Amino acid sequence: MTSQIFPSLQQAIEQLALGTVTATQLTERVLANINAVEGEGARAFTQVYEHWAREQAAASTQRRAAGEPLSAIDGVPVSIKDLFDVQGEATTGGSRVLADAPAAEAHADIVTRLLAAGAVIVGKTNMTEFAYSGLGINPHYGTPANPWDRAARRIPGGSSSGAAVSVSDEMSFGAVGSDTGGSVRIPAAFCGLTGFKPTARRISLSGVLPLSASLDSVGTIARDVASCVALDAAIAGNPLSLTVKHLADAHFAIPQTLVLDGLDAEVSAAFAQAIATLKQGGAQITEIPLEELAELASINATGGFTALESWAWHKPLIAERAEGYDPRVVSRIRRGEPLGESDRQQLVSQRADWQQRVGSKIQQYDALLMPTVPFIAPTIAELEADEATYFRVNGAALRNPSVINFLDGCAVSLPCQAEGQAPVGLMVAALPMQDETLMSWALEMERCLKAR
């Protein structure tokens, strides 16, 4: 499929509404891209629903012909991450150790909502095993390569690795993933896409294999803001209603603590140019200290909620099948072994206090701005070759996005690189339940950045 014809989910929606294309046509073209021998489909997907997708598409085509679409995205092919339950099959979470797990008795809520909206679910996408890394490397199913500089085979980002590549390579028009510390925004940033992490409570986690219940959220990846919002509308109980914003009315803030540390040259240049463009568009942008961000390292020094809660879930499985895990994943889960209820209570207390103090300092601004990730995507080979490099790069990738999960906020990563340059993400973030305002500003910022 050529991106000039259907470059975005939103444009697919428009073409379906006009009747210039059918769900069956879109689905066949997406499936052809998944099955292309020279493509990344075999690594981007852990499961492809060819027969089911064709059935869904045929039903949608009939509804459209009768003038009875179920929603705006009726007939749009989308992918779901390999941690959402699909009735009748095991949910494997990018791992081999759950291959013989009991089949799910029901769909995850987001799967039910996608089907109720008429979306065509084409398959489950690959991911870091059990979502426990921001890099996207998977030794069990292979690692799909970033669309940029493909010959070098760079990481796609994670944990929603296959989700991003399914969109970048036109194997879906939008992807639903999860985000516990950046797992939607990081791959979106690395792959030149838009990734939206909503406030966690907006979207049901029922039927989602957990990483950390305190931090998990469900988000969307697509080519632009409108597409992410359209997909979000299908999976959320309350669709966002965006309003027109003007940059001349905007007041954004750039934290000076932590999030600008150690930027590589490409990210530094792209971020600086994006900020300059927004200022030229009329936005007021203020640098603020926000020293509280420096506290996160000590608060989470023993592994934080992610280690504590993942260990509680994985403990019986590790006791039986530790050797089946990716060693880089199981070692991080084991950090939670010595943690107990008193540690949880302390984390909950520290988080609430931190959220209150940070919230009081940023509530006057329309959004926070920062680079999504401080570096461009490294190669898969260099990270697989050296464990120390893997963990160092992983920590750096998660650093900025995880701030927003700890805040329980909402955020979106927008592509901000110059034409032809390596993908770089601009993260726009806000306080909890400010999703409508955030995405309204994101739509205007996207327009400004694209116009330069």
Catalytic residues: 81, 159, 183
Distance (Å, whole) CA 435 – CA 241: 9
Residue 206, preceding bond cis, omega within 30 degrees? no
Two tokens at 101? 């797990």
Checking 384-390 for CB contacts under 8 A at 24+ apart, the result is: 384/137, 387/328, 390/135, 390/137, 390/328
103: which DSSP letter? P
Distance (Å, whole) CA 228 – CA 405: 19
Two tokens at 8? 């975005």
DSSP for 56-83 reads HHHHHHHHHHTT--SSTTTT-EEEEETT
Two tokens at 192? 């030149």
213-251 in b/e form (b: 16+ CB < 10 A) is ebbbbbbbbbbbbbbbbbbbbbbbeebbebeebebeebe
Q: Determine the Cα angle at 434 with ends 240 and 132, to 5°.
A: 90
Helix (H, G, I), strand (E, B) or coil at 42: helix
Distance (Å, whole) CA 114 – CA 268: 38
Strands 425-430 and 367-371: antiparallel
Two tokens at 84? 């959402």
Two tokens at 299? 């608060």
Among candidate residues 220, 187, 191, 186, the one with its CA nearest the CA of residue 117: 220
Residue 47 exposed, middle or buried by CB count within 10 Å (0-12, 13-18, 19+): middle
